[in-house]
Amino acid sequence: MEEDLGRDAALTIARHLVVFLRRPGNQAQFSAQLAAQTAHREPLRDVQRFITERPDADLSVEALATRARLSPRHFARAFRSETGMTPGRYVDRIRLEHARRLLEDTADGIEEISRTSGYGTPEAMRRAFVKTLGTPPAEYRRRFRTATTS
């Protein structure tokens, strides 16, 4: 795609298809929405929407269980049963995906992105990026940022 249409078009297509343009071989596919199933029950779907819309909120199991009107233990079991992953793993993936998109599409600083993505500190976001994607946020931005946001 990059050879035929150029880098900007290839990056846009890759983002829409939720794939990496030139992903290192050791990096896993990354999309929380694709990896997790949508819950069948409305309270759990509401929680999934809330997590996606507010990655910077209190997304502890206790807070999410209260939102779903379930006990924390029952919520955690039901969430995993319906989505295929624990609430904590889902939150981690949503936060990373949110930060990844901001790095690609905005000129916001790392500190602002880490805060709005729910990490609290740039170091926490850096650790999450290195652990999951194998690259720190600054390198990710350099590699995947579109020319129109440079």
Please tell me the predicted confidence (pLDDT) of residue 29: 42
Phi, psi of 109 (to 5 degrees): -75, 160
Does the pLDDT value for residue 130 go beyond 90?
Answer: yes
Q: With 50 as the cut, is the pLDDT of residue 3 above it?
A: yes
The amino acid at residue 60 is S
For the whole prediction, is pTM greater than 0.85?
no
pLDDT at residue 1 tops 80: no
The answer, yes or no, to whether residue 141 has pLDDT greater than 90, is yes
User: Tell me, what's the pLDDT at 5?
Assistant: 82
All structural domains of the chain, each given as residue ranges with its CATH number in brackets, are 34-89 (1.10.10.60)
- The 10s digit of each residue's pLDDT in 45-57 is 999 999 999 999 9
Closest CA to 135 of 124, 127, 145: 127
Contacts of 140 (CB under 8 A, 6+ apart): 100, 103, 129, 133
